[in-house]
Amino acid sequence: MFVNNRTLSNSKARPQGLSRNWHIRLFGMLLLAGGFAGSLQANETAAKVVSVAPVQSQMISPQMMVSGQVYSRYQSNLSAGVDGRLEWIAEAGQQVAQGDVLAKLDPTPLTLRKNELQAQLKRSQINAARLDKELARLTTLVAKQLISQTQLDQVQADRDLALADVELNRASLAQVQDQLNRAVVTAPFAGVVSQRHHQKGEEVSRSETLLQLVSLTDLEVRVFAPLAYAAFIQPGQQLQVYQQQGQTQLQLSSVIPVSDVRSQTFEARLAVTAADANNFSVGQLVSVALPTASASLSTVVHRDALVLGKQQHAVFLVQETKEGGPQVKRLTVELGQGQGEWLQVKAAVKPGDQLVVRGADTLKDGDKVRVLSEAEFALAKSKTPTDTVAL
């Protein structure tokens, strides 16, 4: 059989060519698959992770900032209430608990007076007992008609006077005991000795102030504001108080809408809770946001949603796209009054819209985002937020 060498060589070469084409195609398919996977990964990484908070409607009123000062509700000038020589007195700055000793007077004169009255009381009791027996004896004699009724009446009167002397001596003894108790001055409440006006060894009278005691836990903020705004606040209302450590809400305890012709101001007092007492000091100056008009329903956003700028402020609104997946839209806002963690704004938003509160600093208009669920991120509500916005 005749075989063409060219045909044979072609028949052997064809499978090798087919093998090379198959490898090329397989390599191309792998490249396409890798590119598709990379595209998917790029799309996934393009979505930025954020957390959101809804726009709300709240009652907001215009406010003005007024200065206030922290006072102690218990600030007492203490005196002994008795005359005597000062034996010991607490140092200024010493912190004491309720019932602790603050000062001591020399009790010697009062002790001697007490001993004298005790002796007088014993003497009057002996005299009353003697007259009691005499009255019983004379009563028996009168029954036998051995003495007159006049003698019995005289002894009975003497007995009654002796009993009255016993009561007088007991009252005098109680007064001296009270003076002895006052010779030791104790703290009526817990606090700190802010001043002392006398030194050890001095003679003091009963009305002289020995020292001043100030409570550090029972505090209040006193504010003097224009009388025209007294109608917009009432006891029980919560007001924002700003200090160096941040801001907090305090309850209005009392309003004193009384003024004079010259000042035209009224006084308001806000109670400082025990939990906030450590953030305030007696004499500290604070600022209080006071309502100047009736509250109205306003659109508010969370403070963390604001992206602050030099010229204007903005928020990022989360929207659903037709292609699928949320993306953000940058909106310029105009700020109004603040109330705690919420700020009044003028913007193209409505209650229920979701605004970015975490991750907004790196966003641009139109960026795709992935929103964390409430389980993944819970919006923290601070009682005394320190982030403030210049309005």
Mean pLDDT of 139-163: 82
| Per-residue pLDDT tens over the stretch 336-356 | 777 768 887 888 888 888 898
Tell me the mean pLDDT in the region 99-117.
93
Asked if the model's pLDDT at residue 218 lies above 70, the reply is yes
pLDDT interval class at 78 (50, 70, 90): very high
Contact call for residues 99 and 186 (beta carbons, < 8 A): yes
User: Rounded mean pLDDT of the chain?
Assistant: 81
**pLDDT, position 18:** 42
Best-predicted range by mean pLDDT (14-18, 35-39, 147-151): 147-151
Contact between 51 and 377 (Cβ < 8 Å): yes
Helix (H) or strand (E) holding 38, with range, is helix 5-46
Q: What share of the chain is helix, strand, coil (3-state, %, to 5)?
A: 30, 35, 30
CA atoms lying within 13 Å on the CB side of residue 305: 31
Strand order in the sheet with 211-214: 75-78, 211-214, 191-196, 95-96
pLDDT the model gives residue 380: 44
For the record, the structure tokens of 384 come out as 């005394």
Cβ count within 10 A of residue 70: 21
- pLDDT higher at 371 or 267: 267
Interhelix angle 108-143/149-182, nearest 10 degrees: 160
Model confidence, pTM: 0.60
Residues 147, 141 contacting (CB under 8 angstroms): yes
Q: pLDDT tens across 79-88, in order?
A: 988 999 999 9
Report residue 58's pLDDT band, with 50, 70 and 90 as the boundaries: confident
Range in 35-39, 72-76, 174-178 the model is least confident about: 35-39
DSSP 321-341: -TTSSEEEEEEEEEEEEEETT
Side-chain-side CA neighbours of 139 within 13 Å: the count stands at 7
Residues 6+ apart with CB under 8 A from 7: none
pLDDT value at residue 26: 54
For residues 272-311, one letter each, b for 16 or more C-beta atoms within 10 angstroms of the residue's C-beta and e for the rest, the string is beeebeebbebeeebebbbbeeeeeebbbbbbbbbbeeee
The end-to-end CA distance of the chain, in Å, is 104
* Token duo for residue 282: 């007696």
- Return the higher-pLDDT residue of 144 and 308: 308
| pLDDT above 80 for 41 | no
